[in-house]
Structure 1
Amino acid sequence: MPRSSSHSRAGAASAGRGEPHTVRIIGGDWKRTPLPVLELDGLRPTPDRVRETLFNWLGQRLDGQRCLDLFAGSGALGFEAASRGAARVVMVERNARAARQLRENQARLAARAIEIAEADGLRLAASLAPGSFDVVFLDPPFDEEILPRALALAMPLVAANGWLYVESGAPLDDESAALAGWSIARHGKAGAVHYHLLQRENDE
């Protein structure tokens, strides 16, 4: 999928009229449910295989947990978390058309645990209280400037013993300044996408 330089996986503009395709929920209460996803510049839904691996790492169920997806895009990660029992899932998406599609899918599933914020992910993250979430999903546009900023804002939002999931165009470096105080518990690669599960070093 194309990469966007905006602060949204959906990008700031659509390609043509943006006809929908689908993303499939992998597990939980809505297992195998297809959800419409718009074709928009920069929209990069997390592939089925990657989501399956991620939720294997997280233990399949997220019962009672609080989750945040700062660059929701298609909503694949947020809907997957809600399907697996998360008590609260906040999905942030600044592209108006993508946010509208998220709300339509939320209504289709009667997903009461999901909250959709049509906002800039970085600005909203800066306004949230530290330790507010057990799992934070971070899949920003593949941009060298956005990722460090997104990491710096997302890390304080993770509660003790929580997890930070990161997708990026290059592997994160365990010794980089951006990851100070954190360790990469798991790492995988699918095509051009590197995906990582991070935890604070003192939580291990």
Structure 2
Amino acid sequence: MRIVSGQYGGRPLKTLAGKTTRPTSDKVRGAMFNMIGPYFDGGRVLDLYAGSGGLAIEAVSRGMSQAILVEKDRQAQAVIAENIAMTQEAGKFTLLKMEDRHALQQVSGQFELVFLDPPYAKEAIVDVIKNLDQRDLLSSDVMVVCETDKSVDLPEEIGSLGIWKQKTYGISKVTVYIH
């Protein structure tokens, strides 16, 4: 795996062996960013189930100014730390080593981009988006990008957000919510 485009484009990304994380393939990540960007002019990104950190690092590579990555798995945290080090701009990244619900209680400020790829998709996505919305953590021009199995059907609206775009790539479905 590698960074697809932007400032860190072409640099390799380490991934975790085994089944504890499901890294987004280069192809799907590239398509996802073409869907939502593909480039950004600053802003904050939250990756709540970071895995290897590829999505948040790709977002910063493409112009986001700050990223908060949340991961509870210790092995995945080590991989994220290595991938952040590869950027040589560690100051742009914050790794929170905890479960999603604890991280949601600690984060503050607003995010322009949120990635959600939880292990138990539908229930977690609905609850997390409602929580982010209620806590005023989503900017007025936020994009919440949800990656699920293609069989998962997410609701048209969650809180004050509605589906803007939705595409299926192989076994993955990407759903983007906006205000």
Match of 1:28 in 2: 6
Change (3 A) 1:54 1:126: same
Aligned positions, number: 174
2:98 to 119, 126, 130: 119
Match of 1:160 in 2: 140
Match of 2:15 in 1: 37
Deviation at 1:151, TM superposition (A): 2.5
Seq. identity, %:
30
* Structure showing greater Rg: 1
Which secondary structure does the structure 2 equivalent of 1:189 belong to? strand
Match of 1:133 in 2: 111
Match of 2:155 in 1: 173
Match of 1:149 in 2: 127
Question: TM-score normalized by structure 2?
Answer: 0.88
Change (3 A) 1:140 1:28: same
Question: What amino acid is the match of 1:84?
Answer: R
User: What are the superposed Cα offsets for residues 3-37 of structure 1, whole Å, 9 maximum, x if unpaired?
Assistant: xxxxxxxxxxxxxxxxxxxx211100111111111
Give me the CA root mean square deviation.
1.8
Match of 2:70 in 1: 92
Deviation at 1:126, TM superposition (A): 2.8
Question: What amino acid is the match of 2:96?
Answer: A
What residue ranges of structure 1 are gaps of 5+ in the alignment?
1-22
Change (3 A) 1:144 1:59: closer
Task: Provide the C-alpha distance between the structure 1 equivalents of 2:45 and 2:105, rounded to a whole number of angstroms.
Answer: 16
Task: Provide the C-alpha distance between the structure 2 equivalents of 1:28 and 1:143, rounded to a whole number of angstroms.
Answer: 29
Task: Provide the C-alpha distance between the structure 2 equivalents of 1:143 and 1:64, rounded to a whole number of angstroms.
Answer: 28
Question: TM-score normalized by structure 1?
Answer: 0.78
